[in-house]
């Protein structure tokens, strides 16, 4: 006898989650309908490699080896330095990074520590290949291996940022978000986060796709002594769990278990001696000793302070074959996804990132412990 129970309606297939970071695709680039790049070797790959947790290591900042502050091994008579802002950001012309001696690389580390962000247009290191680029960055610290997103086969230290088209994905993202900006400090959840970071432009739009940096030491100085004395004592938990959980929901590859690390909210820069705010719009889950609502208020206030502080920001405009190096300890940054059109979505933008892990963040007070 047939059942009188109503037929169950077929549940609609759930939509994939909104992209965590619209700059970074989490699916194989071969699935995209259109590929346009001058550097196919640097297209992102998702090789099933597993990384164990980072263990503590000794770090000696190359900038601290410099005795002659004139930087004669880095700069010469044909070099030209143009400052983006008085206190943050410079463009250096007439220097080829690939030709720097060990002493010149030390002086480069000092320049980056002083200026925080330095752009080098027309670099032949862009075309020297991944081996040469990795060798160059090893001078500045231990390589980092990204737990998610695209990398390069046989070169897992590379973090590949590749956008081309993807109109539907971008439209869905902007249906839920009011901006594409994602202010962060790279890999802040590691026990020894990055110091020096390299970005290399392989291909970019004719206009747009800039990267904006804010100086966290200058932002700290703008706060009142009463307020900063409170911030100096705070301990903050950074975690990669949100990023990793989102990647798993999107069906992406995960190469490492989530990492939770307690860092000081204010860190002391080992080269300049300046106090720097050390926070992240994506990786912080709690501030020890504060309630959830207090944590949210404080983080919202500090992030808003950094994002709206245009008088301590530098906007880097990319040029062909440009390499940008920045100090991750004294800056926070965001890519600007404004290179969109009505027909194809994002125009082609192809960048690689290499990271040099540095010291464990130095707290204001010596008795800091997790």
pLDDT digit string (tens) for 70-90?
A: 999 999 999 999 999 999 999
- State yes or no: pLDDT of 137 exceeds 80: yes
Where helices occur in the chain by DSSP H, the ranges are 102-115, 130-138, 167-176, 216-221, 225-231, 241-249, 292-308
In a domain, 150, yes or no: yes
- State yes or no: pLDDT of 309 exceeds 80: yes
Here the CATH number for the domain that contains residue 295 is 3.60.130.10
Q: Phi, psi at residue 99, to the nearest 5°? A: -95, 0
Helix, strand and coil content of the chain, in percent to the nearest 5, comes to 25, 25, 50
Question: Which of 9-23, 94-108, 304-318, 327-341 shows the lowest mean pLDDT across its residues?
Answer: 9-23
Report the number of distinct structural domains present in the chain: 1
In a domain, 330, yes or no: yes
C-alpha to C-alpha distances, 146 to 52, 181, 217, 344, 353, nearest whole angstrom: 12, 20, 27, 29, 10
Q: How confident is the model at residue 172 (pLDDT cuts 50, 70, 90)?
A: confident
In a domain, 9, yes or no: no
* Burial letters 87-113, b for 16+ CB under 10 A, else e: ebbbbbeebebbebeebbbbbbbbbbb
Task: Give the structural domain span for 223.
Answer: 62-362
Sheet holding 266-268, edge to edge: 275-277, 266-268, 362-363
Neighbours of 261 (CB within 10 A): 20
Residue 356: which of 204, 196, 214, 201 has the closest Cα?
196
Q: Give the residue carrying structure tokens 């590929």.
A: 35
In a domain, 30, yes or no: no
Beta carbons of 331 and 117 less than 8 angstroms apart: yes
Of residues 107 and 164, the one with the higher pLDDT is 107
Q: How confident is the model at residue 337 (pLDDT cuts 50, 70, 90)?
A: confident
- State yes or no: pLDDT of 24 exceeds 70: no
DSSP 79-99: -EEEESSSSS-EEEES--GGG
- State yes or no: pLDDT of 10 exceeds 70: no
- The beta-carbon contacts of 242-248 under 8 Å, at least 24 apart in sequence, are 242/20, 242/282, 242/283, 243/20, 243/147, 243/148, 243/282, 243/283, 244/147, 244/148, 246/17, 246/20, 247/20, 247/26, 247/148, 247/149
Beta carbons of 93 and 123 less than 8 angstroms apart: no
Q: How confident is the model at residue 2 (pLDDT cuts 50, 70, 90)?
A: very low
Beta carbons of 22 and 166 less than 8 angstroms apart: no
Mean pLDDT to the nearest integer, 30-50: 76
Q: How confident is the model at residue 114 (pLDDT cuts 50, 70, 90)?
A: very high
pTM of the model: 0.90
d(C-alpha 49, C-alpha 294), whole Å: 39
In a domain, 198, yes or no: yes
In a domain, 197, yes or no: yes
Residue 215: which of 122, 319, 333 has the closest Cα?
333
Q: pLDDT above 90 covers what percent of the chain?
A: 66
C-alpha to C-alpha distances, 323 to 42, 202, 279, 370, nearest whole angstrom: 15, 9, 25, 36
Q: Phi, psi at residue 103, to the nearest 5°? A: -65, -35
Mean pLDDT to the nearest integer, 273-291: 93
Mean pLDDT to the nearest integer, 163-180: 73
Q: How confident is the model at residue 340 (pLDDT cuts 50, 70, 90)?
A: confident
In a domain, 267, yes or no: yes
Q: Phi, psi at residue 177, to the nearest 5°? A: -115, 150
Residue 30: which of 181, 153, 119 has the closest Cα?
153
- State yes or no: pLDDT of 1 exceeds 60: no
Mean pLDDT to the nearest integer, 148-168: 83
d(C-alpha 164, C-alpha 187), whole Å: 25
In a domain, 54, yes or no: no
């Amino acid at each position: 006898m047939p059942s009188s129970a109503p037929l169950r309606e077929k549940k609609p297939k759930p939509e994939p989650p909104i992209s965590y970071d619209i700059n970074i695709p989490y699916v194989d680039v071969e699935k995209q309908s259109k590929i346009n790049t001058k550097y196919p070797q640097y297209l992102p790959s998702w090789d099933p490699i597993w990384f164990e947790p980072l263990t503590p290591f000794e770090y000696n900042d190359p900038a601290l080896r410099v005795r002659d502050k004139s930087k004669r091994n880095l700069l010469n008579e044909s070099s030209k330095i143009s400052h983006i802002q008085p206190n943050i950001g410079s463009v250096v012309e007439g220097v080829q990074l690939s030709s720097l001696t060990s002493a010149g690389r030390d002086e480069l580390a000092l320049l980056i520590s002083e200026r925080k962000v330095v752009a080098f247009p027309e670099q032949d290191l862009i075309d020297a290949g991944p081996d040469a680029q990795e060798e160059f960055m090893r001078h500045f610290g231990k390589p980092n291996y990204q737990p998610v997103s695209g990398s390069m086969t046989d070169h897992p230290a590379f973090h590949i940022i590749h956008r081309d088209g993807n109109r539907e994905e971008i439209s869905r993202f902007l249906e839920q978000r009011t901006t594409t900006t994602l202010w962060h400090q790279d890999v802040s959840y590691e026990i020894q986060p990055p110091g020096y970071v390299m970005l290399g432009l392989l291909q970019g739009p004719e206009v747009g796709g800039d990267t904006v940096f804010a100086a966290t030491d200058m932002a700290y100085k703008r706060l009142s002594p009463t307020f900063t004395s409170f911030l100096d004592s705070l301990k903050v938990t950074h975690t990669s769990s949100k990023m990793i959980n989102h990647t798993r929901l999107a069906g992406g590859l995960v190469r490492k278990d989530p990492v939770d690390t307690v860092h000081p909210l204010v860190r002391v820069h080992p080269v300049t001696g300046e106090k720097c705010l050390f926070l992240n719009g994506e990786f912080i889950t709690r501030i020890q000793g504060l309630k959830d609502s207090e944590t949210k208020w404080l983080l919202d206030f500090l992030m808003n302070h950094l994002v709206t502080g245009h008088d301590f920001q530098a906007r880097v405009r990319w040029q062909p074959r440009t390499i940008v190096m920045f100090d991750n300890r004294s800056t926070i940054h965001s890519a600007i996804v404004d290179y969109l059109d009505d027909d194809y979505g994002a125009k082609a933008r192809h960048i690689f990132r290499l990271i040099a892990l540095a010291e464990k963040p130095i707290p204001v007070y010596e008795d800091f412990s997790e």
